Structure 1
Amino acid sequence: MSKKAKKERQKSAKLLTLDTETRGLTGDVFRVGLFDGENYYVANTFDEIMNIFEQYKEYECHVYVHNLDFDLGKIATTLFTRDKVCFAKSIFINGNVVTLHADSMILHDSLRLLPGTLEKLCKDFGLTDNAKKDLSEIMIEQGYAIYNKDGSLNKRKSLGNYFENVPADDPVLNEYLEFDCRSLHEILSIVMEIAEIDLETLVKCPTTASLSMRVFKEQYSESYDLVATHWYTGEWGRFLEDHVRLSYYGGRTEVFTPHLQNGFHLDVNSLYPYVMKIAKFPVGYPNLLKDGQAEKKWKHWKRRAVGGGVMWCRVDVPEDMYLPVLPKRDPSGKLLFPVGKLEGVWTLPELLEAERNGCTIEAIYQMVYWERMEYIFKEFVEHFEVLKKTSKGAKKVFAKLVQNSLYGKFGMNRKRTSYGDMNERYELDEKEIPYRVHKHNNNGLQMEFIEYLSESNAMYIQPHIASYVTAYARILLYRALKEQHAKGEIAYCDTDSIACSAEMDKSMIDDDEYGKWALEGVIKEGIFLQPKFYAEEYENGKKVIRAKGIPRDKMEELSFENYKEWLEIMKEGEQERIHIFDGHKSRKKFSTTLKADEHFDTQREMKKSINLLLEQKRIIDYKNNVTRPHARYDYGEKKDQMDYIEYQEYEKKLNDMYDDVDDIKELVDEFGYIKCMQTGDMYYEEYKHFPRSVRSKYFRKTGIAIDVWAEAAGWELNELLEEFRLMGVK
């Protein structure tokens, strides 16, 4: 290590918070605030703020910004011009800037660490002195208010009008900006205090999940050491990991009865933390057992329940089952719970649950088996459960965040899109790692950087742990669904919630106890059109509207009556698509514009509609208000047979719920197919995990290289890869 590098590493870390005010979504910055814990600075430009960092030369400055991706688009030209940005030390996750490393400062997005608006965080953390200010009264008094048709204040439009027109020296505006900076600094300080970590540790935790893992590792080291092993390293380890990952499924989300009159909406209290607390998990050496060995172990495990594992097998699911147990990804990647003859990999507990409910395991091929089972999360969850139940404000919020975020780290993908500086090309060439060079000559900048796929060797990546957590959770939900169905109608479920007609046993109801059910509302009428797309009206007059993928301002325009109208359209079955909205504009992600050589304020227009040709997770008869599970045949006399031509016809029904997928198909028709990838190609590891539907619909051997196609079609490459991945998520 050079003397200069050693000196830089010895710098003390300093926490600062920054916020900008802009003239609307695409307008310029007109006020910038910076707070260092003691002193607050304000200026009209980021250029002026950068001058202040001269006094912090002796520190390693960590600057937190809430929703960094937005602010960075406004300040990047100044930052990249005046400072040296190191892409190799920066972190991008799913196309979002999480950490941007420059010589004078390291920018962090606090939104990735603490999800939610700053206003909500202030309320949750119990801030009073430095809480984010509500401008509603000021906007009304000063004439910036815009009202809805019913006379109520349209806060979103009013705020837009306010920031587009308010003078930069307005006292209320400047107090608002200062409080934003001070409140974020106070919240981060509280997090460090509760987590019992210093700033040097906090800055190594860019996300909620990474903070949760850090707490688990440092404060529950014995449990961490049990699970964080090296068994998935090397060629053999990766083979085992790929096999185990096939058993990792998400939550169960299904419509059973589209229209419910009079019922109940119930949620499990802290479902994932609960199963993590009460259950044992496989630890130690993973044994690979095949054929006869696997069959013998399965029979032995059923008798004695010693150890744990995942098993590749064939299962007959009776065709008359209304509530099948086992999850199965269909060719589009959707998570179904079908009847028929299924082949796949599942955890042993979920297979046992299937057998107990009438399924038959007809063939066993392979098992990854662990001899030991331990309560690795019991102490961790119990500690934060007590903290959550006995605390208010910050401690309660922190306990909830840490508990709910941990398990996902064990199942994270090892492959991640990373960025580097041009001098890294030589090392990547030596390792034969493909990369792409990006040139940006817009926004007054001239720069080059590279993009490549990096691989994490983190020992905490243990997919069998995440697989077991979600399997335990699905079993708990399944048993509740089965019980409620025996007493009446079930209308809907989503991971940890149920809408049903019958009351749940009082012994299972409690507002706080983990694993029990809280009554969210007594339903007067519920309309469940599709998974994550429903509306409920409660007896107390409250109305709940849910529509995944729709921006918040558009959600505010939806009503319960809209859902009733759409239900009638679905009953008629004559339309192919229901229009939701179009013309909604949003700014592209910073990384998208950076790589596409576009202006940082480039907008993207969104449109959404319900595709009525979409095959749902169950076969839904809206007219008769009934559903039934799909049938799938992976083997046997009825085995599903589809060649590419047949599958393309079938795939027309398997598009995503909204128009994004259709947009990609339109671009394929315009620019041509994307080229299939082979071993050694830069994005092959991503490509091989795409569902068959994605590969057959958008890729051909004679197609165009994906980076060239993305650039021509106007897609940011990482966003395109993420879109393809999401097509395969439950």
Structure 2
Amino acid sequence: MKLAWTCSARYDSKVTQTREKYRYWESTRLMWEYIFSLAHDKSTLTLFAHNVFFDLQASDFFHYAQKQGWKYAFNWEDGMTYILVIKKDNRTLKILSSTNYFHSSLAELGLILGYPKGEVDFDKVSKKELSGYCKRDVEILKKAMEFYFSFVLDNDLGKLGMTQATQAFRAFRHRFMKEKICIHQDTFVKSLERAAYMGGRVEAFNWREQTEGPFVTLDVNSMYPYVMKKDFMPIQLLEVKKDVPLERARETLERFCVVCEVELDTDQPIYAVRLKNKLIFPTGHFVTYLCSEGMKEALSRGHIKKILVMAVYRRAKLFDEYIDLFYTLKSKYKREGNKGLEMMCKYFLNTLYGKFGQKRTETLKWKDKKPGQYFKEAIFDLTRGIWITETHLLGMIIHKRSVGEAPHSCVAIAAHITESARLYLWELFEKVGFDNVMYCDTDSLKLRACDIRPLKSLMDEYRLGYLDLKDKTKRLDIMGAKAYQTEDKLVMKGVPRKAKKVDTYKYEYYTFFNQSTHLNEGVTRYYLTKKTVKDVTPRYDKGEITTEGKIIPFQLESYGPLLSQLPEPPSFFSNPPVQPPEPS
């Protein structure tokens, strides 16, 4: 660490600041002694930083925390999310990355909030200029978190959570959950629901450099919120059946939600299948998993040959009020040009559904007999036949393993939402003509500008579920899923925007490693970076590329890991309970 700035601030219950103090640092030891001193007895101090692990590692935090007797209490690291809670006596220090709440760079946050970050040349910058640059980062971060706190308070969105998704879930339960969601404990049905929970549709339909432009990108306005508002959702498991007649399924779908394992025979690439860790949309004869809207679609088209398993649920409209509030506010702020509040509403709209599909991690911890150790390793438990991650961190040994669904998860809900979004995308394909779609990614599609006429009636940048024209380009080179280039933009999964092109299909950039990597390497007192050269030679493995440059779906003859071949469902379902009436 060359230098740093901190700002300590105290707020009342209405997020009115009652104290503020900025301090400049060149000594990591003195900085952490000061921060630790702010954590008082029987209270919690919360520390925010942008990409906080970098700051912790670069400033020797783990060394000084260990030295001063702070102990591990909880941590979580996944993608942009970082949480660390440590304790000493009756004091608690909660360390959170602002990326838990804002999925953007600090520079982008500054522009949105009206606090430009500025730029410096790190090879030539003076200490005075660097100090001002660093302080500005802290000012932007402080402004961003105050903005977030105020939004949660002003809209009565529940107790402050440690991530955006947690906040969305708390807001839903606090203000909008009118129907009770019953969480069942049947392992067979949980496996069925998990199998049916698949992601967005990301596919290329044309290959390499395209002709006869210009080309346009159309985005669905809030795709997942749209289907969350439109559709019924499963809220209580009622029964599970094997070998269900098709007519019985049609009758059931008139009043209930379902999750099914089905045998399909289709000549249209509508239905998702997991194959070799990829989501594909084949034609042919195969087994896959469908929820309510997928079952209606497949039954209406005559694509279902057999229903192997069907779980039936009481249903309700769960998300109407939640989506109405945040989408109305989002549209209002968009019209006013208030990008900050528009961004907040967008986060609340897009992060809620994933909480219903969350998995649970079991954590066991005990005191480390060799304090000061900092490493992680995978251990195979021969007694139970499972893999466990063992971490030595801040005086504790921590064992973690995945143990299924989180206590609040209702995976059937998440599966319904993602399936319905995929089907809506297919509906758009059919409107415009499937052969005219060149590329799609979850909630967007690319096609030639001359082909958009059938979608004109759905064009409205403000209406939920309608289409927004995002860009128009003269050039389009499709190189794979999440890999394409226009005259002014390169999208390449896994390659940062600032990467340097060093060869036709090679990019060079620095990789900034997360805490997991530092623990694997046992690196305690400096930050690991690595110069990476990535080969992005175009390839595609989600369909067959023809000599004409078109990509056609895989044709499957017989595919599917059958849950129905597992032991019979629990006897609890052999005499299903009386089905309650539909909610009014």
TM bracket, shorter-chain basis:
0.7 to 0.9
Distance, in Å, in 2 between the alignment partners of 1:29 and 1:242 is 51
Alpha-carbon separation, structure 1, partners of 2:82 and 2:138 = 24
Cα separation, partners in 2 of 1:240 and 1:523, compared to 1, 3 Å: same
Residue 83 of structure 1 and its aligned partner are, at CA, apart by 3.2
* Distance in 2 (alpha carbons) for counterparts of 1:83 and 1:220: 44
2-structure distance, mates of 1:616, 1:603: 31
Contact 2:543–2:552 (8 Å) recurs in 1? yes
- Give the aligned CA root-mean-square deviation in angstroms: 3.1
TM-score normalised by the chain length of structure 2: 0.81
Q: Secondary structure at the match of 2:72?
A: strand
Equivalent of 1:496 in 422, 443, 462 = 443
- Is contact 1:118-1:132 (8 Å) kept? no
Residue 56 (structure 2) aligned to one of 49, 72, 78: 72
Identity %: 21
Q: Deviations over 1:8-53 (max 9, x none)?
A: xxxxxxxxxxxxxxxxxxxx24223233142222222232223334
Query: Is 1:287 the counterpart of 2:239 in the alignment?
Result: yes
Counterpart contact for 1:620–1:628, Cα < 8 Å? yes
Higher share in strand: 2
Distance of 2:340 and 2:140 partners within structure 1 = 17
The residue matched to 2:507 in structure 1 has which SS? strand
1:19-418 matched pairs, under 5 angstroms: 28-37=1-10, 38-52=20-34, 53-54=36-37, 56-58=39-41, 59-75=43-59, 76-93=61-78, 97-103=82-88, 105-124=93-112, 126=113, 128=114, 131-135=115-119, 139=120, 158=121, 160-162=122-124, 165-167=125-127, 172-173=132-133, 175-196=135-156, 201-202=159-160, 205-223=161-179, 226-227=180-181, 229-231=182-184, 233=185, 237-258=186-207, 259-262=210-213, 263-292=215-244, 295-301=246-252, 305-318=254-267, 321=268, 324-330=269-275, 332-357=276-301, 359-370=302-313, 372-391=314-333, 392-414=338-360, 416=361, 418=363
Task: Confirm or deny: 8 A CA contact 2:272 2:288 kept in the other structure.
Answer: no
* Change over 3 Å in CA distance of 1:631–1:167 after alignment to 2: same
Structure 1 pair 421–123 and aligned structure 2 pair: CA distance change class (3 A): farther
Which residue identity is paired with 2:139? F
**1:207-256, CA deviations, whole angstroms, 9 ceiling, x for partnerless residues?**
21111101111111324xx22x231x2xxx22211111111111111111
Aligned partner letter, 1:396: E
Partner AA of 1:378 in structure 2: D
Residues 349 and 115 of structure 1: CA distance in aligned 2, closer, same or farther (over 3 Å)? same
Matched, 1:473 2:421: yes
Q: Structure 2: which amino acid aligns with 1:193? A: L
Contact 1:85 1:100 in 2 (8 A): no
Match for residue 576 of structure 2? none
Instruction: Mark the runs of 5 or more structure 1 residues left unpaired by the alignment.
Output: 1-27, 140-157, 441-445, 538-542, 563-577, 641-730
Task: Tell me the CA shift for residue 421 of structure 1.
Answer: 3.8
Point out the structure with the larger helix share: 1
Letter matched to residue 465 of structure 1: I
2:517 aligned to which of 566, 571, 592: 592
For the structure 1 residues 178 and 495, does the alpha-carbon distance in structure 2 shift closer, same or farther, using more than 3 Å as the test? closer
> Matches of 2:33 and 2:220 in 1, distance apart?
52
Amino acid at match of 1:632: L
SS of the equivalent of 2:465 reads coil
Tell me, in whole angstroms, the C-alpha distance in 2 between the residues paired with 1:457 and 1:627.
Answer: 37
Does structure 2 conserve the Cα–Cα contact (< 8 Å) formed by 1:72 and 1:590? no
Alpha carbons of structure 1 residues 601 and 490: separation in structure 2 relative to 1, 3 Å: same
SS of aligned partner of 1:379: helix
What is residue 618 of structure 1 aligned with on the other side? Answer: 543
Cα displacement (A) at 1:280 = 1.2
User: Which whole-Å CA distance do the structure 2 matches of 1:448 and 1:379 have between them?
Assistant: 45
Q: Secondary structure at the match of 2:37?
A: helix
Partner of 2:397: 449
Query: 1:515 corresponds to which letter in structure 2?
Result: G
Higher RCO, Cα 8 Å, sep 6+: 2
Q: Secondary structure at the match of 1:552?
A: coil
Structure 1 residues 183 and 453: alpha-carbon distance in aligned structure 2, compared to 1, 3 A threshold:
same
Evaluate the alpha carbon distance shift between residue 83 and residue 96 of structure 1 in structure 2; reply closer, same or farther with a 3 A threshold.
Answer: farther
Q: Which residue identity does 1:230 align to in structure 2?
A: I
Distance 1:255 1:420, change over 3 A: same
Q: Give 1:465 deviation, angstroms.
A: 0.4
Distance 1:92 1:419, change over 3 A: farther
Q: TM-score scaled to structure 1, two decimals?
A: 0.66
Deviation at 1:169, TM superposition (A): 8.3
